[in-house]
């Protein structure tokens, strides 16, 4: 018996509330990896099972939690675009 977690990552396609995502799932713990935070091509290459662990892996127990996390990525990008736009407008006002 081992004293540590040894994942068995496989690539899966999951759907939840009309959103379909391709990501990695651990067959042991059923965790899902965020495909935007972690390079899923490295963790679970197409057609292969791996046991790779990385330090900053972001994982979730449910597809719903993963979807909510992915929405924060979209929200963060929109906020970043808005801040850049505001800074650009302020800079143009100072020059004009």
Predicted TM-score of the model (pTM): 0.75
What tens-digit pLDDT sequence spans the chain (96 residues)? Answer: 567 888 999 999 999 888 899 999 999 999 999 999 999 999 999 999 999 888 888 999 999 999 999 988 877 776 667 666 666 666 666 666
Question: Which pLDDT does position 94 carry in this prediction?
Answer: 65
Q: Which residues contact 51 (CB under 8 A, 6 or more apart)?
A: 6, 7, 8, 9
Question: Which pLDDT does position 55 carry in this prediction?
Answer: 85
As beta bridge partners, residue 19 has 16
Domain range annotation of the chain: 9-95
Question: Which pLDDT does position 8 carry in this prediction?
Answer: 95
């Amino acid at each position: 018996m081992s004293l540590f977690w040894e994942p068995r990552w496989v690539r899966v396609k999951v759907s939840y509330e009309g959103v379909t995502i391709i990501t990695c799932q651990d067959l042991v713990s059923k965790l899902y990896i965020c495909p935007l935070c972690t390079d899923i091509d490295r963790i679970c290459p197409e057609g292969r099972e791996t046991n790779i662990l990385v330090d900053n892996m972001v994982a979730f127990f449910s597809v719903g939690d993963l979807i909510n996390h992915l929405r924060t990525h979209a929200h963060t990008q929109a906020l970043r675009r808005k801040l850049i736009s505001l800074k650009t407008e302020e800079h143009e006002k100072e020059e004009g």
